[in-house]
Structure formats: structure tokens, C-alpha cells
Amino acid sequence: MSKATIKQVAAEADVSTATVSRVLNDNGYVSPEVKERVFAAIAKLNYQPSAIARSLKQDKTFMIGVIAPDISNPYFMGISRGIEDVVGPEGFQLLFCSSDEAPEKETRLLQLLHEKRVDAIVLATSGGSAAAIDALIGNGQRIVLIDRRLEAGGETPALDLVAEDNASCAYDLTRALLDDGHVRIGIVNGLTRVSTGRERLEGVLRALKERGVEDKLLLYSGDFSTEGGMRAVRRFLREKERPTAIVSLNNRMSHGVLLELVRGGLRIPGDMAVASFGEVEAGQLLKEPRLYYVDQAPYEMGLRAGEILLRRIRGENGAHEPANEIFRHEIKQMH
Amino acid sequence: MSKATIKQVAAEADVSTATVSRVLNDNGYVSPEVKERVFAAIAKLNYQPSAIARSLKQDKTFMIGVIAPDISNPYFMGISRGIEDVVGPEGFQLLFCSSDEAPEKETRLLQLLHEKRVDAIVLATSGGSAAAIDALIGNGQRIVLIDRRLEAGGETPALDLVAEDNASCAYDLTRALLDDGHVRIGIVNGLTRVSTGRERLEGVLRALKERGVEDKLLLYSGDFSTEGGMRAVRRFLREKERPTAIVSLNNRMSHGVLLELVRGGLRIPGDMAVASFGEVEAGQLLKEPRLYYVDQAPYEMGLRAGEILLRRIRGENGAHEPANEIFRHEIKQMH
């Protein structure tokens, strides 16, 4: 005779599995009459107490939700692949959701994944969902932050985080241009309600201030999108005093910057030097692609996030000290 | 007083919601004692029969699963955006899964999404899951095929399909090169266990045969991947009689073809003409990007798939005649 499941016990007793669980754990009110039915069912099905305990403990769906602002961005796909290479062999599947940088959509997706009882959520937040996250954490949902911090705010629970040292990398990137003699620099900025946007801008400004050229900067908000990068270039080229270099603060915007410079017939870096936070694969199609870039490591970040996820799901983290893994990358030049 | 939910009724009666549903529908055995408890709970909470009926009928999760071989491919993302723009305003959320062209992973993902009771699955199949699909359809799961057909096989149920006229488009694409005088053509082939791979190759071969140059062809399997496109170019360039043109049968492989040609210092189309099934955005970074390409319409395909999904979920399709929407695209040249 095969071993009975908690479902069979519940069916036999004509109660929900939650009620069986409450009876077994002596946790929450259950009427004496119902308790008796549950114990009768356990006896009838010859249920092993240890098997019951295990099946109750193994309350897993083996799904991990991943919410990213743009799941088609190779950066987030690299992260996802790293996560999957760690959790996949343990039987977990990833479900991806795109928040499109829309905080209200992110909140809906968090709720949805929680309702579907995913074992954990990996979140690259677009901001605005701190309250929802608080509530989910309160309900026992595991959440690991990737790439982006929650907004600073007293109530926010300390969560596991795998991110980059954005300010330092952006500082180094800007320094590369300054060291080449550039003074007038156009900055294609991300979304400053997002931590990566804020921190990267902070690093750029620090480098410019150190050299005393912060009054020469041109700032354009590119919203982390390819189109934003294209608009920024058009805007910079209309300036009376054109910049000689551009710092673009994510890979999508950098792609747009390159597209628009090439369309405008400008040589890179002859007519305009470019420095990108993150690699742009397509840049290799340029004739002379001497871009500076922050050499990100999304796959390795994903591996770390995957390990943290597994530890959390297995409950190995003891005192629940949140992980805080910050990657610092080198500046490289394409050639 | 706010309206009670079926969950509250179940909690009040200390039974599962499934039991409440069985009682209300008089469907399946429920002991008289439990029935009494359920009816007492309904009375106590002043439950509206119509509200109950609605909540039972509205057996929706408002989730639609999307399984694609590579969700980071801009083509599949375009399709997804089209679907979302139709179903999103109706309250549906998309969950994305990447099958990585692995049939066994696709089968697992189909099973997982079905267990999570998604309202429908949109599938760009990597093949090999016909049996699983049969079983799911038998269990009432709605499945809409996008981009790729199921393998030919007697048992396969007729499913809704939104796809492209792959053979005709590939024929036209090859004709563009032949009309320019090319004879020796390298073909970067996709996966022929996938319908798009098979049909596109068929179209290319038809065009070559018509001109009587099929014995001049070079065929390399690029597996629909960027790396495959790069390997194909390296292989073609080692030929004693080098091709003067390359037909690449998806956008990823075309991206790889361009990268490798540029790395090798070849001018396009001066040293090597290129024709791509699908646009390659990065191609605009080339100095002289005169590529031929099939001007695909993934977003529009997604819109159609979204409309079909809504009709299916709402049960409006009457006799369940499967949709069969085939898009035929024009050949364009980048400039």
C-alpha cells in the first residue's frame, strides 16, 4: 500500500489540508468534533507521523518568480541564467514577469506571484512597492533583491541584496573620459527613482566635481531606454557648445546613443567619445568601437542570488542576517 | 457589511472551498452533516446565491503563461508585448518561461503552468512535447501556438495558430540575392526539428533550384543562436570557393553573422552580401548596412494571438474551429 498523502487525510476527514495541518501542529482553533475526524482519518490511513511532518514541511511549489523591469534586456537575462543554473538542478523553475518600470504593475505582479505561492521572488524593483513588499514579508514570502535597492525608508525590512557598486563604477567610468582630456561631457541619466539611477549619477557628479568641471555637464534623462539614449544624442548635438564625450548609464541607453551617433555620421571616438555603464554587444559592429564600459557580471550576480535563494528556501540562514553582496567591476575599453 | 467570499463560507463551515463548491453544485458526495454546516454558514453570512454562482463560474486565475525558446529575443518580446497590450487591459498577467530550445524543459514548463491553472498557454514550441500537449488539451487547458507549428503527427489536436509564411518569405529573401547576381550562397540554417527551421530552408532551396544553382549552396546549422551565426561565417570563410552572399534564417544568427564578418574585416555587402530572416537592430551600426531582411511583424502577431486568447477564455469560439493566422511579410533593405 502506497503512503497516504495529507490530501488523502483531508479528503477522508472532509476538511481542508490547512485544517489537517492545524490539528497536527496544534496551531489555531479547530473544533473537537473536527479534530476527532482528522485523527480518525490518520488512523484509518495508517499515516506515519514522520511522513506527515515531512510533507507539511515540504510545502513547496518549486517555482521562483523573477520580476525585472525589462526581461528582454541581456543584463537581466544574464542574471536569470545565473539563477537558473543554481536552482534548476534542485528542481526549481523560474517564472519571469516584466514590470516595464511601472511601480503599480510591479505591485500587482508581487501580489500575483505571492498568491501563486512561489517559493521565493527575485525582484529588480522599479520602486513604489515598499508597502506591498512589507505586507508580503509579513506573510512569510521570501524576497531577494537583485541589482536595485528599495527606496530608503524607515519601515522597509532588510532584505537579501545582490547589487553593484554603482557609484564607484560610474566614478571610474567618468574618470576614464576626464583622463583623456574631456571637459564638456553629456550624461545620459537613468531613472532617479531607481537606486541604480541615483547611485550612478552620484558617482559621475563626484568625478566631475573633483576635476572642477561640474558646471560643464549636460544632463539628459534617458529613462533606461534605447529611445531615451537616441533622444539624448539629438539633444546634445543641438547644443551650441557640443560635448566631446557622452557617459550613458545603462546598456539600453548606450545602444541608443551608438545608433543615433552612427545615423548622424559621427565617428566614435573621433567625433564623440562614449562611455557606457554596461557592455553593448552591438558596439562590436562599429568600425572602431573604442568605447569605455563597465564590465558587468550579471551571470555571476545571478549565481550568488541563486545560492542565497536556496539557503533561504532551505531555511539555512539561521538568524536571518540578510545577505549584502556588492559587485565592483573594472572599466574596460572595447577594441 | 461587505459581501462574504466563498473562502469565508468555507472557513465558517470548517471545510475546503472545494467542498462548498460541491455542495452548491450538488456535484460529488458530501456527507449530510457537512452539507448542513455549509448551508448554515451560507445563511449566517447572508450569502447571495447569484454572487456564489458568479464566483464559482469565474474560475479564472487571470494568468496566461508564455513559453518561448528564448524570451530575451526581441522577436518573442515583440510578440509578448502585443499579447499583453490586448489581454492586460482585461486584467490578465503574463508569466514567461524560457524553454531554451530544450523539448524536455518545454514539457516540464507546460505541466507546471497547467498545475498553476493558468487560463491559457501561449507556446512557441521547440518540439517534442506533442504527447504532453495532447494530455493537457484533454484536461481542458487552452493552448495557442505562436510562430511555430507542432510536428506533423496524426494524433496532434488542431490548435489555434498564429505564424508566418516561412517558406514564401525565405523564398523571396533568397530571390533578392539571386537577382543581384549571387550564385554561391551560404545558408545559416536553424533547427530543422522546429517548423520555422524546416519551412525556411524549404523556401531557400526552392529559390535556388528554380535558378539551377542548388549544387552551389553551402549549408551550416546555426541552431538559431548568435554563436551559431558566428561559427557559420568562420566555416564559410574557410571554403576554397567562398560564397559571395549569406542567407541567415533568424535574427539571432544574423546578429552573429554580422559580428563575425565585421571582426574578420569584411565589408557588407561589398565583400559579402547578407540577407536575414528578421531584422537585426544592431545592423544599423554598420557603416553601410545594406542588408536584405524579412520585415517581420511580431507585435501584430502578438495582438492577434491576444485576441484569440480572449475569445477562447470567454468561450466565444462556438464550434471551436481553430484559428490559423499566417502572416506574409515583405523583403526590405536596410539603408
pLDDT for A153: 57
* 8 A C-beta contact, residue A95 and residue A63: yes
Interface of A with B (CB under 8 A): 10, 14-17, 19, 30-31, 34, 63, 71-74, 77, 80, 93-98, 108-109, 112, 116, 255, 258-259, 262-263, 281-287
* A96–chain B nearest CA distance, Å: 5
Q: Pick the more confident residue, B290 or A209.
A: A209
Which residue in B has a C-alpha nearest to residue A91's C-alpha?
A: B108
> Are A172 and A290 found together in one domain?
yes
Look at chain B and report how many structural domains it folds into: 3
**Helix, strand or coil, per DSSP, at residue B161:** strand
| In the predicted structure, residue B261 carries a pLDDT above the cut 50 | yes
Classified as helix, coil or strand, A189 is strand
For residue A283, the chain B residues in CB contact (below 8 A) are: 285
Q: DSSP letter for A125, please.
A: -
**Residue B291 confidence (pLDDT) above 70:** yes
Residue B66 is predicted with a pLDDT of 96
CA distance A209 to chain B (A): 33
8 Å CB contact between A82 and A306: yes
For residue A310, give every residue at least 6 positions away whose Cβ sits within 8 Å of its Cβ, in sequence order, or none: A86, A87, A90
Side chain identity at A34, as an amino acid letter?
A: V
Least confidently predicted of A192-206, B27-41, B251-265, B287-301: B27-41
Given strand B218-221, what is the order of strands in its sheet?
A: B218-221, B185-189, B245-248, B273-276, B292-294, B331-333
Confirm whether B335 is domain-assigned.
no
**Would you say residue B49 has pLDDT above 60?**
no
The secondary structure of B259-274 as a DSSP string is: HHHHHTT--TTTT-EE
Question: In A, which residues are within 8 Å of B96 by CB distance?
Answer: 71, 95-98
A202 to chain B, closest Cα gap in Å: 30
* C-alpha–C-alpha distance, residues A250 and A293, integer Å: 10
Contact A287 B283 (CB under 8 A): no
In a domain, residue B333? The reply is: no
> Which of A22, A72, A113, A335 has the most B C-beta neighbours within 10 Å, making it the best mutation to test the interface with B?
A72
Q: Alpha-carbon distance A70 to B26, whole Å?
A: 47
β-strand partners of A68? A98
Q: Is residue B69 part of a domain?
A: yes
Any domain includes B133:
yes
A334: in domain: no
In a mutagenesis test of the A interface, which of B35, B72, B97, B111 is the best target, namely the one with the most A β-carbons within 10 Å? B72
Calpha distance B96→B87 (Å, rounded): 14
B272 and B322, same structural domain?
no
CA distance A114 to chain B (A): 12
* A69 and A121 inside one domain: yes
Instruction: Based on the fold, state whether residues A238 and A311 are members of the same structural domain.
Output: no
User: Cell match 562614449: residue?
Assistant: A274
What is residue B219's predicted lDDT score, i.e. its pLDDT?
A: 97
Shared domain check, B118 and B26: no
Residue with cell string 483531508: A10
pLDDT of B154 above 60? no
Q: Tell me which of A131-135, A168-172, B88-92, B280-284 is least confident.
A: B280-284
Chain B residues close to A97, C-beta within 8 Å: 93-96
With a pLDDT cut of 90, the percent of chain B lying above it is 61
Taking contacts as CB-CB distances below 8 angstroms, the residues of chain A near B29 are none
Q: Pick B71's closest partner by Cβ from A19, A96, A287.
A: A96
Q: How many CB atoms sit inside 10 A of residue B232's CB? A: 26
Output B59 or B333, whichever has higher pLDDT. B333
Q: What is the CATH number of the domain that holds A15?
A: 1.10.260.40
pLDDT tens readout for residues B6-17: 888 888 888 888
Kindly determine whether residue A112 and residue B286, on different chains, have CB atoms separated by under 8 Å. no
The pLDDT tens digits for B118-146 are 999 999 999 888 888 988 998 889 999 99
pLDDT at residue B43 in the model: 73
d(CA A135, CA A311): 22
Three-state DSSP class for residue B275: strand
One domain for residues A116 and A12 = no
Is-contact A197 A240, C-beta < 8 A? Answer: no
Question: What is the crossing angle of helices A6-13 and A17-25, to 10°?
Answer: 100
| Inter-chain CB pairs, A–B, below 8 Å | 92
Residue A86 sits in the same domain as residue A65:
yes
Radius of gyration of chain B (CA): 26
Regarding whether A179 and A265 lie in a shared domain, the answer is: yes
Which CATH number belongs to the domain containing residue B279 in this structure?
Answer: 3.40.50.2300
**Banded pLDDT at B174 (limits 50, 70, 90):** very high
Answer for the pair B116, B109: CB distance below 8 angstroms, yes or no. Answer: no
Q: A152 and A110: one domain?
A: yes
C-alpha grid cell for residue A110? 508581487
- Neighbouring CB atoms inside 10 A of B10's CB total 21
End-to-end CA distance of chain A: 68
Contact B160, B323 (CB under 8 A): yes
pLDDT tens digit at each of 335 positions of chain A: 456 778 888 888 888 888 887 777 666 677 878 887 887 787 778 776 454 444 444 578 889 999 999 888 889 989 999 999 999 889 898 999 999 999 999 999 999 899 888 999 999 999 888 888 988 998 889 999 999 998 765 455 689 999 999 999 999 999 999 999 999 999 999 999 999 999 999 999 999 999 999 999 999 999 999 999 999 999 999 999 999 999 999 999 999 999 999 889 999 899 999 999 999 988 888 777 689 999 999 999 999 999 999 999 988 655 568 899 999 999 999 87
Q: Do A285 and B30 touch (CB under 8 A)?
A: no
pTM: 0.77
Please enumerate in sequence order all residues whose Cβ is within 8 A of that of B199, keeping only pairs 6 or more positions apart, or say none: B166, B167, B170
Domain match, B261 and B306 both: no
Q: What are the E-state strand segments in B172-289?
A: 185-189, 218-221, 245-248, 273-276
Domain housing A66: 60-164+299-328
* A311: in domain: yes
Does residue A335 lie within any of the structural domains?
Answer: no
> Which residues have CB under 8 Å from B326's CB, separation 6+?
B163, B164, B165
Residue whose C-alpha cell reads 536552482 in the numeric block:
A87
A139 and A23 part of one domain: no
Same domain? For A196 and A157 the reply is no
Q: A273-276 and A160-164: which strand pairing?
A: unpaired
